[in-house]
Amino acid sequence: MKKSELARVGIIALLVVSASSAFAATTAGGWIDITAPIDPKTVPIYPGDAPAKLDFLQHLDQGGKVTLSSFSLGAHTGTHVDAPMHFIKGGASLDQIPLDRFMGQVRIIDCSPDATAITAAELNKHDWKGAQRIFFRTRNSRNKWMTDPTFHKDFTYIAPDAAQLLADANVLLVGIDYISAEQFGAPEPKTHRILLGKNIPIIEGLELRDVKPGDYELMLLPMRVVGHEAASARALVKPR
């Protein structure tokens, strides 16, 4: 084999090893990060909500003595948790929800590719009964909308009749892959009221594009914000 060919083989091997190492780093311990990145260039913002602003007050690269940041964003930015207080008068604030709601087994359901709403009929196409926590992967993920700054009004949502089935089944947690579980422009927030009225927190803005359906171990920790209705969270899953 010529030296030039050996060099090419060496470069290819190095690239393969580097790529494998990078992948291993993102899935260390088998955990998969399903948190949407908070980046003003990519994060979608619900109309009327506060924009995401990430600023540097000082930066070492710009002559500062330290790198010091300032963040300004709405409570419903990126992957976040809605607490009952969001739509239920007298409902629990985020810090009052027991943490065990956010940790344990979760079932990720891959909805029909053309489903624009998760109705009771759509829900019953899938094996959901008996699951304590349910996350919905929809066309929102297939379209990569959680990393598209354009707000898509036609996102797939959870319809009230499906929400009622979930509430009646006493699930502990419900999640979806866009920044709202409610139909955009709905005259009343029925889905939120049904779920939150049964003290079922809602996880919105999940990044599920590369996650297969099935049962996973969930570890999700919202910010410990006291006395408010929502906050961003970090969410990880591991195949069971």
Where in the sequence numbering do the catalytic residues fall? Answer: 86
β-pairing, 103-110 vs 133-137, is: parallel
Write down the residue that tokens 């087994």 correspond to.
105
Contact between 179 and 138 (Cβ < 8 Å): no
Cα torsion 228, 229, 233, 238: sign: positive
Sole residue written with tokens 């996650």: 211
Nearest to 176 by CA among 103, 129, 123, 125: 123
Distance CA 223, CA 234 (A): 8
Q: Which of 221, 223, 218 is nearest to 240 (CA)?
A: 218
First-to-final CA distance of the chain: 46
